[in-house]
Structure 1
């Protein structure tokens, strides 16, 4: 409680930060994050033909009030706005997009702490690839596309591009599900614009290069229904594995969300993730047979925002993440990762393509998993600020 009180006492102190972020249009299909983005950010219409260039840079400053002063990183389950007590770049990229009547291609090269931490397992120069894909329209009179390469993930309503999300920082469920995917996908948009259907074959769970020891392919789907501009309903799934073949651990994951009144004065996002990994045949530590069944993790989240003016929003979030078996977030503690999160933020569009944001966040975990200067704590308190500019 002392930390929480300290947070609210400091939340009113203005922070010096710089950030620039470039607007880009995902031309490989409907993006869930684009559906959920704040309308205080700039929007660039997709061109009908030709080559276009765009860019994005986001600088930020995060202050973790719980961590020791010498600790320069946020907790291990976070990948965006990761550095503590320093001005840094979360994500910056330059993108070239080519579109024609039945062809399209995208290439975006990235830098920043998001790429540093989230692409740590990838090879060499692939760590700097935000997007690289080509596509062909399969039907003259139908919006049916086949794309192959590296894409922004269709799983979830949040992306790595902060300005396209309702909150400055990402939810725990977004940080621990794929931000990007690689493989081939088939996307169909209905003539009335209400349905999007997607099926894909992938190299794995947020993998450009396959996991060593895993020989299979994963599949993923998306069904999105937009009955009106007031409502978006989405179900995305993943079936595959993120473990070597020897463990025989299949993964089935589901992401569901509803976006209600996104362009109105008051809007709400309701999200729910649930996944299951089969228990390994043999425990690698004890060399003993584990048995049948699955390890399950899940996460509900509610995000609400209120438009305070033509240029500003207030937003709030309540979330919970339960991974007691450490499938996605390993803690080494008795109860695993069982954490509540709360955040409150303010957004202000300084210019049509320049967005300033401030957010305070509290995590409250069942076990003492957060480092402090005197040991471990169940609570973590932080605030983050950024300035996003698109061009």
Structure 2
């Protein structure tokens, strides 16, 4: 792993030097990526992000070093660790763009466990070309952060320290090709993509695909964002004939005001599988859904408070299997305080409680219906 990271770092540095030698000084600089950036030369930016954390699960046995199985961020229990750290090189010209970001941390360890070892450390690797001289229409291909949902693995860009259950159990990354169009007035974003699958770089064995995904985003003004994203495909072998149709809806209200809110809703359905004799186990589909509401209060530019209420219902265990009579039916409540020590350094503390209909959480004695945890993090971007 050390040799792999070293090699990639050398490649990024070599890429930076090459662009610095060949890029005309009149070329426009790349737009700022998710993490804060420093511009190496016109057209090229190099950025980085590191988030260290400590999570204490009060419910789990003292010997348990992992948080519940449906979580992929801030996963390690009672130890200081790194959730996500990456270094990214981004190049943009008038008609061409490319991104390469290499990651390490427990997020990559758990969320990319099903991928081939060589690609588990790729946070982002894609290339794009602008298809029109006059329209903001781009074709991109490769591995890229998911457009589904209002949260990402980069904690500092999310209103809460930890991710919502719906974010943890929908795609964080996608691979394939996508078309993106932004209207001249900046109010509409339209996206269509052909993908290898549901959060998969390599296709699922036995699934011929492809999968499709869309996004329609509307920003009527600076105080409102409305978004609908969808996925059509499968995360099961072709033999089961289980088509998946998934929808993500959210609204961001007053994002830059003192009091702001996010309202989100996920709704997904998998067709029931084929059984013996090529007959369906039953008619219809297995459905799961999840509403979430987050309210943030800005005490000052440096201090912010956020509260979250969420619910996740997956009684058939399509996404989160429990083996219990009622399946996964869980409420979540969290409260966090953020303190921006510097413009690029953020310290956060969050308390979170899960309350499930069935006893699904490991505890010091038997299984418990509730789980309580406290998480702190320090994130630095550059």
* Structure 1 residue 352 displacement after superposition: 0.7
Change (3 A) 1:250 1:171: same
Q: What is residue 12 of structure 1 aligned with on the other side? A: none
Moved over 2 A (4+): 27-31, 42-49
In structure 2, what is the Cα distance between the partners aligned to 1:208 and 1:173? 21
* Structure 1 residue 291 displacement after superposition: 2.2
1:1-391 equivalences in 2 (<5 Å): 43-44=36-37, 49-282=42-275, 289-391=280-382
1:296-347 CA distances to partner (integer Å, 9 max, x unpaired)? Answer: 0000000000001120100000000000000000000000000000000000
In structure 2, what is the Cα distance between the partners aligned to 1:52 and 1:78? 32
Question: Do the aligned partners of 2:39 and 2:45 also contact (CA within 8 Å) in 1?
Answer: no
| Partner SS for 1:317 | strand
Question: Do the aligned partners of 2:36 and 2:48 also contact (CA within 8 Å) in 1?
Answer: no
In structure 1, what is the Cα distance between the partners aligned to 2:37 and 2:98? 17
Question: Do the aligned partners of 2:38 and 2:47 also contact (CA within 8 Å) in 1?
Answer: no
In structure 2, what is the Cα distance between the partners aligned to 1:44 and 1:377? 44
Question: Do the aligned partners of 2:148 and 2:171 also contact (CA within 8 Å) in 1?
Answer: yes
Q: What's the TM-score once normalised by structure 2's chain length? A: 0.90
In structure 2, what is the Cα distance between the partners aligned to 1:116 and 1:44? 25
In structure 2, what is the Cα distance between the partners aligned to 1:237 and 1:51? 32
**Structure with more relative contact order (C-alpha pairs < 8 Å, separation 6 or more):** 1
| Partner SS for 2:317 | coil
Q: CA RMSD in A?
A: 2.0
Change (3 A) 1:28 1:116: farther
| Partner SS for 1:280 | coil
Question: Do the aligned partners of 1:48 and 1:99 also contact (CA within 8 Å) in 2?
Answer: no
Q: What is residue 18 of structure 2 aligned with on the other side? A: none
Question: Do the aligned partners of 1:48 and 1:101 also contact (CA within 8 Å) in 2?
Answer: no
Question: Do the aligned partners of 1:205 and 1:241 also contact (CA within 8 Å) in 2?
Answer: yes
In structure 2, what is the Cα distance between the partners aligned to 1:268 and 1:283? 48
Q: What's the TM-score once normalised by structure 1's chain length? A: 0.88
1:186-215 CA distances to partner (integer Å, 9 max, x unpaired)? Answer: 000000000000000000000000000001
Q: Which runs of 5+ in 1 are unaligned?
A: 1-26, 35-41
Question: Do the aligned partners of 2:36 and 2:381 also contact (CA within 8 Å) in 1?
Answer: no
| Partner SS for 1:309 | coil
Question: Do the aligned partners of 1:344 and 1:360 also contact (CA within 8 Å) in 2?
Answer: yes
Change (3 A) 1:138 1:28: farther
1:29-83 CA distances to partner (integer Å, 9 max, x unpaired)? Answer: 999xx7xxxxxxx755999952211111100000000000000000000000000
